[in-house]
Amino acid sequence: KRFGVDEALLGPLFFAVRVLNGLSHLGAAWLAKRIGLVNTMVWTHVPSSLLLMTVPIAPTLSVAVTLFVIREALVEMDVPTRQSYIVAVVGDEERTRAAGIVNLTRGVAWAAAPAVAGWLMRAVSLSAPLVVGPGLKVVYDALLYRAFRHLKPPEERAKTA
User: What is the tens place of the pLDDT at every residue in 2-19?
Assistant: 788 888 888 999 999 999
pLDDT in tens, 12-45: 999 999 999 999 999 999 999 999 999 999 999 9
CA atoms within 13 A on the CB side of 12: 4
Average per-residue pLDDT in the chain?
Answer: 92
Residue that wins the pLDDT comparison between 159 and 93: 93
Average of per-residue pLDDT across 137-151: 95
- Is the pLDDT confidence value at 141 over 90? yes
Task: Please check whether residue 89 is in contact with residue 151, taking contact to mean a CB–CB distance below 8 angstroms.
Answer: yes
Task: Tell me which residue of 66, 55, 79 sits closest to 134, measured CA to CA.
Answer: 55
Whether 161 shows a pLDDT value over 60: the answer reads no
State what percent of residues in the chain have pLDDT above 90. 81
Cα angle vertex 100, ends 97, 106, to 5°? Answer: 145
pTM of the model: 0.86
Q: What is the pLDDT of residue 11?
A: 92
If DSSP codes are grouped into helix, strand and coil, which group holds residue 90? Answer: coil
Q: What is the pLDDT of residues 109-133, one digit of tens each?
A: 989 999 999 999 999 998 899 999 9
Residue 151 has pLDDT above 80, yes or no: yes
Residue 40: name the closest of 82, 70, 72 by CA: 82
Residue 98 pLDDT > 90: yes
Whole-angstrom distance, CA of residue 35 vs CA of residue 70:
20
pLDDT score of 160 = 64
Is the dihedral angle over the CA atoms 155, 156, 160, 161 positive or is it negative?
A: negative
Other beta carbons within 10 Å of 143: 10
What are the tens digits of pLDDT across the range 48-95? 999 999 988 999 999 999 999 999 999 999 999 999 999 999 999 999
Q: 61-75 vs 7-35: helix axis angle to the nearest 10?
A: 40
The residue type found at 61 is L
